[in-house]
Amino acid sequence: MISVSNVSMRYGAKVLFDEVSTSFTPGKRYGLTGPNGAGKSTFMNLLTGELEPQKGSVVRPRKLGVLSQDQFAYDQYRVLDTVIMGNKRLWAALVERDEIYAKAEMTDADGMKLGELEGVVGEEDGYTAEADAAILLQGLDIPQECHERKMGELQGGQKVRVLLAQALFGHPQALLLDEPTNHLDLDSIHWLKSFLNDYEGVLIVTSHDRHFLNGICTHIADIDYETIITYTGTYDDMVVAKTQIRSQIEGQNAQREKKIAQLNDFIARFSAGTRSSQVQSRRKEVERLQVTELAKSNIQRPFLKFEQKR
Ligand SMILES: Nc1ncnc2c1ncn2[C@@H]1O[C@H](COP(=O)(O)OP(=O)(O)O)[C@@H](O)[C@H]1O
Ligand SMILES: [Mg+2]
């Protein structure tokens, strides 16, 4: 479970989130949507912990799978090792274990430590780590002959796929993927879809690919109006639900405008006359009814609406 409590975030005059509280549950697959610049990437960084909220707090599980946005960070590492680094606890234990084995002489304390480290490696499936990493790489179309190479020797598109394998590696409790389909071919997108559909933790994903979101999401967390509203269903379901809510607000506004016009008419006719107390009370009512401006929404532009006549 990931919980977000009263989070606010702004850059200069631009408010991205105002007092947002929401949560993300294991077994549900959330698409994070919203217009460009709404704050999807910023929100992802708040969830991963890369960014601290200016106000409020985020509670997240210990083991996170995050798609790294830095393509050069692992250039000096082997491809397989880059994937295994996705499990931080395992990687730290492997590194420390190798350091002890490399010593010319081992103390008793080293021996004790080794026992402890082997325990961690076992718990984290360390003995099958390379084979598990290879399976992920294969699924993402990184051929065997690349697995032993350095990251720096790979092309940009291949690196992104290795970083995606890193995010998926090691059974994370939550997967946070910002635009994972960039640089994937159709086969890899297909593979990723079925991987994510089998995933049992908390999945939160952003994508420009509507079909991809429709193929995996059980929920859509939509960023709009400086807040986040979670809809049940796929991307297309969210658009329909949002359009309905919008029509409802439009209908209510139209009724209010009509009422205001009637009241104003009364005020214009009788304001010079003797019914001043009635005019006064209608003026108050007009103030109360002032139409609240419909908040700007991403489905407001481009917006097509067909009315059914029969
Ligand atoms: N570090 C930053 N400093 C200033 N403004 C930023 C920073 N990061 C993002 N922004 C602004 O915040 C808004 C949201 O950005 P972003 O989260 O990348 O949106 P999205 O991923 O939804 O397109 C944009 O207007 C962007 O220019
Ligand atoms: Mg973004």
Q: What are the beta bridge partners of residue 8?
A: 55
pLDDT tens digits for 45-87?
999 999 999 999 999 999 999 999 888 999 999 999 999 999 9
Query: Which atom number of ligand 1 is nearest to the Cα of residue 44?
Result: 17
Residues 6 or more apart whose CB falls under 8 angstroms from that of 279 comprise: 266, 267, 270, 271
Window from 114-118, 178-182, 282-286 with minimum mean pLDDT: 282-286
Q: Is 39 left (phi over 0), alpha (psi -120 to 50) or beta?
A: left
For residues 160-174, average pLDDT: 95
Listed residue (206, 197, 215) closest to 67, CA to CA = 206
| Amino acid found at 302 | P
Q: How far is the CA of 37 from the centre of ligand 1 (A)?
A: 6
Contact present, 150 and 178 (Cβ < 8 Å)? no
pTM of this prediction exceeds 0.85:
no
Distances from the Cα of 49 to the Cαs of 65, 112, 140, 197, 278, in angstroms?
12, 34, 27, 25, 59
Sign of the C-alpha dihedral computed for residues 162, 185, 72 and 50 taken in this order: negative
Residue 298 confidence (pLDDT) above 50: no
Query: Which atom number of ligand 1 is nearest to the Cα of residue 40?
Result: 22
Q: How far is the CA of 208 from the centre of ligand 2 (A)?
A: 9
Res 293: pLDDT: 52
Residue 246 confidence (pLDDT) above 80: no
Ligand 1 atom 25: residue of nearest CA = 37
Q: How far is the CA of 41 from the centre of ligand 1 (A)?
A: 7
Ligand 1 pocket, residues with Cβ under 6 angstroms = 11, 14, 16, 34, 36-42
Token duo for residue 74: 């692992």
For residue 201, give the H/E element and its range.
Answer: none
Res 164: pLDDT: 95
For residues 165-179, average pLDDT: 96
Ligand 1 atom 8: residue of nearest CA = 42
